[in-house]
Structures are given as structure tokens and as C-alpha cells.
A and B are shown apart, each in its own frame.
Chain A
Amino acid sequence: MINIVIAGVGGQGSILAAKVLGSLYLSKGLDVKVNEVHGMSQRGGSVVTMIRAGEKVHNPLVSVGEADYLVGLEIHETLRAWPYLAKNGKAVTSTRVIPIRYQPGEAASVGIIGGVIRIEAEELAKKAGNAKSENIVLLGALSNFLDFSGDEWEAALRENIKPKHIGVNLNAFQLGREEVPK
């Protein structure tokens, strides 16, 4: 069973990233479940999206300590979702900080956890042509650890992204993919 958690803030595009991953595993003939967050809980709040793939997937939710991969679209959210990561799991996070307003407590630093791969996703997304393609930059970074070919990734991106946005997103994916040493 493969378990992936995507953590971010409502509106950052975690659902699209999850759909792309879902398509990839489905195309490999695996059973897939993707759990999403919609509605009020998405309105600028923390959003955790989960992708599970295997011979047969029952529950759509990843349990604490079970995620093989954690993709963080924002530093606080990466930290918040960290307990999901398995001991040998890999984490890729954007260095993006979206301030948390009107809440008690201080912003934590990603420095308190080890072994996370940091990506300047916002910069790379802008370079790709659209700051909103951060989610796809991070998929590009993640792609270095998953067993799919470049063609398979491209097919999954094309399946889930409208033709008029695909160019920017393919750029974003490539920039993210090149950012992590293999």
C-alpha cells in the first residue's frame, strides 16, 4: 500500500495534485482512494488531502505514522501533518509561509524536524509562468521518489489540467523535478 499526504491551506491546489497522483496509480492498475476536503473547512483553513493506492484500498484515510510521502504546500501545514509521516517516509515541502492570523501560539520553524526536502516552490512556480502552479512544482519534486516515467506523469497532468493551463504546469513540474537531486 502506498500512502501519500498533501498538506496545505484551502485554495492552494491540493485537490488537483491529489487527482494527478490518483490518475497515475489507477493507470498502473492499482485500486485508489483519494480523500478531499470541501466546503467550509476549506475556506482558508488547514487542508489535508490523502491518496492511497494498493491492491485493494478500503478506508480513504491515512493513519498517523503511515504516510510514505508527505507533500507540504506551506510550512505550518507541513509541520501540522508531520505526525502522518512514517518513520522511513520522505517529506517534500514548499518554503512558503502563509501567516496564521488571530490565533494563539507562535509560528513553528521547520527547523525542528529533520530530513525534509525544502523547495522554493513559489519562486519556481513564478518562473514557470504562474505563481499558482506551486502544487505542480511540488509534484515535480516528489516525482523523483516515485516509480513513474516522465511520460506517465505528463499523461496524468494532461488528464487533469485544462489544455490552456497545461504548458505552465508542465514547466512547473519540470522545474520541481530538476530541483531534487536523484
Chain B
Amino acid sequence: MSGKRKVLMMGNEAVARGLTEAGCSFVSSYPGTPSTEITEFAAKTVYAEWAPNEKVAVEAALGASLAGARSFSGMKHVGVNVAADPLFTAAYTGINGGVVIAVADDPGCHSSQNEQDSRHYAEAMKLPMLEPSDSQECLDFTKTAFTLSERFDTPVLLRLTTRISHSRSAVTVGEIERPVLREYQKNPGKNVMVPAAARVRHAALEERLASLGDFCEESGLNRIEWGTERKIGVVASGISYQTAREALGDSASYLKLGMVFPLPVLPLRELAEAVDELWVIEELDDFIETHCKKHGLKVWGKADLTPLGEYTVPILRQAVLGETAEESPQSELLLNNVPPRPPVLCPGCPHWGTFGVIKKLNLTVMGDIGCYTLGASPPLSSMDFCVCMGASVSSLHGFLKVRPDRADKAVAVIGDSTFMHSGLTGLMNIVYNQTPATVLILDNAITGMTGHQQNPGTGLTLMGQSAPVLDLEAVCRSLGVKRVVTADPRDPAALEAALKEELAASEPSVVVVRRPCALLEGSI
């Protein structure tokens, strides 16, 4: 491969290339839009695997780091909620081989249940966070993140957003570094976080944070781009920097932040003193703005800009310059005339059969995260609750504990991959704390919504090697569920009969509704 030729690369692919160039030798992730492709691309050149969930993935990466490898885990924003536990304390232990954790936020909720701003995690965990603004920076910052990880003895967070992860831009690739294992030495004072050691490591963490604070003041990751005028100054990072740059052009001056935690003060002051008005342009929360205000800087930001969704060039031009985009009457006519086309279950999808029966029986449905969340949309409109991975099973238990009369009218609906991710403990709870709940595991033999990833139930690994197939029925029985039956969504009469019987039963039951994804069967 020619070293200098520019190629178009998706942000996620560029992160994967960065992992390879940095000599990373262990990747473990759970799929989640918009982060999934990082791990899929990485698997072409680096050892990579799908873990059952993000917590397992991060812990595996920490183990690989302890053993001396540069290691990585990538996830969507809500995945960090699952992986938060090991990450908060990995900030105390630090690392051996460099650790980089990519977190892809989804402003605008393109494929997510919330719009959480993961930058708060960096501050709460006290972990440094870098934020690239195009594919070249995705590659470069991934490599820089490994360097910083080893220099400062800390995991490093790499924050992406949908438009960075899923946009293609020009990338010049670099040389690939051969993976090297650092020596492993037992060091319980640093790595075994019992209280006495944790107190000591907390002090080390605060010292490290102070050093990182000094580093970010001088780092080339943050740079001022002086404009032709000194009227408007902008502080921004990631996609917001690109949108601001386009909206406000070369006359404005920019403090382009590549590191969003810790945040610098000196370049902020320098810019603030040079311009008439200083704007902080950041999608979602007022993370940078709060920092500026804490340091006594007068800035404009969320007073004029929404914390909701993505920013566009017209939104920024209106807020900062007071310009209103002209509306074409034809546009309005068209928008009112074209019916919306939201995502729907594919034709031939086995979930149609399952939800057909659920709708017919008019059940209360605790839903979960996956393709079957589309059962909430018309014409099925069969979902009462959906918040996060695994919540269907555990919330059904709570619902039935206080409304036992609904036990024959309510179900949990969860996919195979989601059940393995975080449904098991909820089912254990149903057995232990005893509600006669009925849980439907929709086993379509793949992780569907994120684009067909392998999982412990599919018999294949991410890298295409055969693996033992998890026996869902046996797992449920081993958790203490005595009534475990299997049904086919293509046979609605039998599914209905099975469902009625299990709903009427006075003890916990699981119905495994099994039929491979229609796309997998190649039937459409």
C-alpha cells in the first residue's frame, strides 16, 4: 500500500486503522450504532471479539492491558453506562499496555433511546477524553490516545458522534507498528483495589489529573485558528467545530479542542481577550461552557442554542449572526404532502408473527432494545415500556409484584443477543423473588439491528471461527425456570396456544420464539 495516497474512509474505519497502526493487539466490544464498524474493521487486522456486553468487553480489555497489550473497546454512548463500573476504578489502577475506549454519542437519536452526553463520564471518571472532528483525526487521535494512555498511566476515552463515525473523509494512512507486549509484573498495591490501596491510588489519580491539566494547556491537540477579524471567537470540538467553521467562515477565530477533558484555560483566555464575543458551540450539554464560566469567562452558548439534537449551519447562523434562512413555499408544500417513512420490521421478519399474536391477545409488553422495538410502531403498536438493554425482564418482575392480577396479561419481549447482554440476571431475579412472569426470548440467531453480528448463540466468532452455541433453554432452566417452551413465530396458532398456557401458569415461564432473521435466511 502506498503510504501517501489519500483514501476516503469512514470515521469508524479510521479508528480501526489507528488501532492497527498503534500496534493494538486486543479488541473486545459489544455492537451498538454508531460504533459497531470500528470493531468490525479492526477484526480484519487485529485480534478482535464480540463480548456479551460492554462491561465484559472493557474488563477483558483491562485484563489484556494488565498482561501488557495495547487494548481497545468500542461502544455506543449507552454502552458506557453498562461499562461504567470497571472504568471508574480502572482510573485508579491505571494500565500496563495502553487502553483506549471509544464512545460514540448519538445527538439526534438516529439509532438510540437517549441523547446522553458522554463527556460527563470523562469528568466523573477522571479519565482524559479526546474528540476527533474528521476521519484523519479519528486515525491520528486513536494513536495519540495510546501514547497518552501509556505516558500518563490511564485509560483514555475517545469520543465520537454519529456524524464523525459515519462520515467518510480523506485519510492518509501511516505505518503499522508491530504489537509489543509490555512486561507483566504483579503489583497488588496498584492493581488490587481494596480500600487501603484505593485510597492511595485515588491520590495518584488526582496527581495524574493535575499533570493532564498541565499537558492540555500546551498540547497541540488544542489549537487556535485566527480568523481575518476579531469580532467572533468560537470554542468547539468534533462535529460542532466543523459545523461552526462552515457557518461562520474564515472571519471568525476558533479554539479547536481535540481534548475535551481535561479542558485548558490559557488558550481560552487568549481567545477571549482577543475577540468581541466568545461563543461555545457544542451539541447536547453545556460541558465546555460550564468550564468557561467556572473560570470567569463571559461566553455565549446555551442561552441561544438548544441542548437538543444536532446543529446545522442554518441553526448556528441564526443563533450567532441573527440570520434567518429563507424558507421556500414549495418546500413546505412538499413536507406536508409526503408521508413519513420511519424504519419498520422487514417483510418476512419473524417478529411479525410474534407481535401478531401479542397484539391479538392485547398483552401489556415490557419491550427491549433490538429490531423488535419496532413492534412499538404502527400497525403493531404493541409495546408499553422500553428503556435499556435487559429492562424488559426486570421491569416485568416489578410490574407484576405490585399488580399480580396482570400476570396473565403481561409479557417481557427480549431478543437473543439482548438476553445474553443483560437479561439473564433479571430472569434470575424473577425466579428468586418469585413472580409468575412470562418472558419471550425472540431468538433470530443473530444480533440483528446493528447489522448481523455474531454472538454466543450463533456458533461463530467475530473473526469467523466456530464456537460453542449457547443453549438458551438450558440456560433458563439452570436459572431455575421450570417452564421453558419453544415456539415458531411462523406458526401463530401454536405460538398463541403456548403463550396462553404460559400466561395462565402460576410460576415463571420462558417462551423461546425461534426463527432465524429473514435477512439471514436470504428469503427476502
Residue ranges of A at the interface with B (Cβ–Cβ < 8 Å): 9-10, 18-19, 22-23, 26, 31-46, 57-61, 63-65, 76-77, 79-80, 82-83, 100-108, 112-113
Contact = CB atoms under 8 A, between A and B. Distances in A.
A127 B326 CA distance: 43
24 contacts: A26-B8, A31-B170, A32-B169, A34-B167, A36-B10, A38-B37, A39-B34, A39-B111, A39-B449, A39-B451, A41-B111, A42-B343, A58-B243, A59-B245, A59-B246, A59-B313, A64-B331, A79-B337, A80-B335, A82-B330, A102-B344, A102-B379, A103-B341, A112-B337
A104 B339 contact: yes
B522 to A, nearest CB: 14
Max chain B C-beta neighbours (<10 A), residue from A33, A58, A65:
A58
Interface in B158-201: 163, 166-170
Given A33-B167, A43-B343, A102-B378, A26 B337 contact: no
Contacts of A57: 169
A108 B334 contact: yes
Nearest to B164: A60
Given A40-B33, A83-B328, A103 B314 contact: no
Max chain A C-beta neighbours (<10 A), residue from B34, B163, B325, B338:
B338
Contact of B338 (A10, A34, A79): A79
Contacts of A83: 328, 330-331, 334-335
Given A38-B36, A65-B331, A80-B338, 11 more contacts: A34-B169, A35-B166, A39-B34, A39-B449, A43-B343, A63-B312, A82-B334, A104-B339, A105-B338, A105-B339, A108-B334
Interface of B: 6-8, 10, 33-34, 36-37, 110-111, 134, 163, 166-170, 239, 242-243, 245-247, 312-314, 325-326, 328, 330-331, 333-335, 337-346, 371, 374, 377-379, 449-451
Given A45-B343, A59-B242, A38 B168 contact: no
A31 to B, nearest CB: 6
A18 B167 CA distance: 11
The 6 closest A-B pairs by CB, nearest first: A39-B33, A105-B339, A83-B331, A39-B111, A45-B343, A40-B111
A34 B8 contact: yes
Contact of B342 (A23, A35, A45, A76): A45
Contacts of A105: 337-340
Given A36-B10, A43-B374, A108-B334, A103 B339 contact: yes
Contacts of A100: 339-341
Contacts of B168: 18-19, 22, 32-36
B325 A64 contact: yes
A38 B333 contact: no
A63 B170 CA distance: 21
Contact of A58 (B246, B337, B377, B379): B246
A33 B338 CA distance: 28
Nearest to B249: A58
Nearest to A74: B341
Contacts of A19: 8, 168
B231 to A, nearest CB: 19
B341 A9 contact: yes
Contacts of A36: 10, 166-168
Contacts of B247: 59
A34 B8 CA distance: 9
Nearest to B373: A40
Contacts of A41: 110-111, 343
B243 A45 contact: no
B449 A43 contact: yes
Contacts of A26: 6-8, 170
A43 to B, nearest CB: 4
B330 A113 contact: yes
Contacts of A65: 325-326, 328, 331
A21 to B, nearest CB: 10
Given A9-B341, A39-B450, A40-B110, A58 B242 contact: yes
B169 to A, nearest CB: 5
